[in-house]
Amino acid sequence: MKLINVCYIRKHLPQTNLQPVRIMPYRRLPNTDTARIKAMRTALEKGKELPPNKLAFSSKTIVRLQKFLPQFDHNLQLYRQVLASQNKKSKDYNEALKKARIYLTHFIRVMNMSIFRGDLPAETRAFYGLATDESTVPSFATENEFMSWGRRIIEGEEFRIKDNYKTKEKFGAPGVCNVENIKLFLAK
């Protein structure tokens, strides 16, 4: 059946007692977990107040609801606690990652400045997997890139120190920045 606009009918028909077309009622369902819990609690209260023959649902549904509601409420509280904990830990982790990126970047920059000053040979970069003729800092945009470069720098520094002891050269650490700060983060 096709609905016709009431104004069109009034305009073209001589009758003046036409009723407006009614729209089907819309049943709103709860959208959030809090609204669902509120609706279930309201249903339980109605189930206790009204006799079973006046309820819109069966007494079997009330029994199922009495079992389900406490579990659902408990699980929702656990979910909120876990989410809050995850947000806090994520914030702490991101702050530590940011600081570790700064340590790694500074380590490479200080090493490059030591090479520029002549305190270290240019071949020092090869220990860390860097090109010997390039003094740019690699990208640590993603967490995986950071972890990969962090491991390379740590292993390269350990190998460089062992190699210095073998060859009896007196090339010290590439400046103030210490690879121990990077190790500390990667150990977490």
Within a domain: 123:
yes
Both structure tokens of 149? 């470069």
Within a domain: 71:
no
Sign of CA dihedral 42, 45, 49, 51: positive
Within a domain: 16:
no
150, exposed or middle or buried, with CB in 10 Å at 0-12, 13-18, 19+?
Answer: buried
The whole-angstrom separation of Cα 40 and Cα 127 is 65
Is the confidence at residue 9, as pLDDT, over 70? no
Q: Label residue 188 by pLDDT band (50, 70, 90).
A: low
Residue 1: strand, helix, or coil: coil
Tokens 């007692």 -> residue: 17
pLDDT reported for residue 54: 86
Within a domain: 25:
no
Within a domain: 12:
no
Residue 30: strand, helix, or coil: coil
Domains of the chain: total: 1
Mean pLDDT, the chain, integer? 81
| Structural domain that includes position 107 | 90-187
Is the confidence at residue 87, as pLDDT, over 90? yes
Both structure tokens of 36? 């669902």
Tokens 């090479």 -> residue: 115
Within a domain: 116:
yes
pLDDT reported for residue 7: 54
pLDDT reported for residue 42: 92
Within a domain: 121:
yes
Within a domain: 175:
yes
- Say which amino acid occupies 134: E
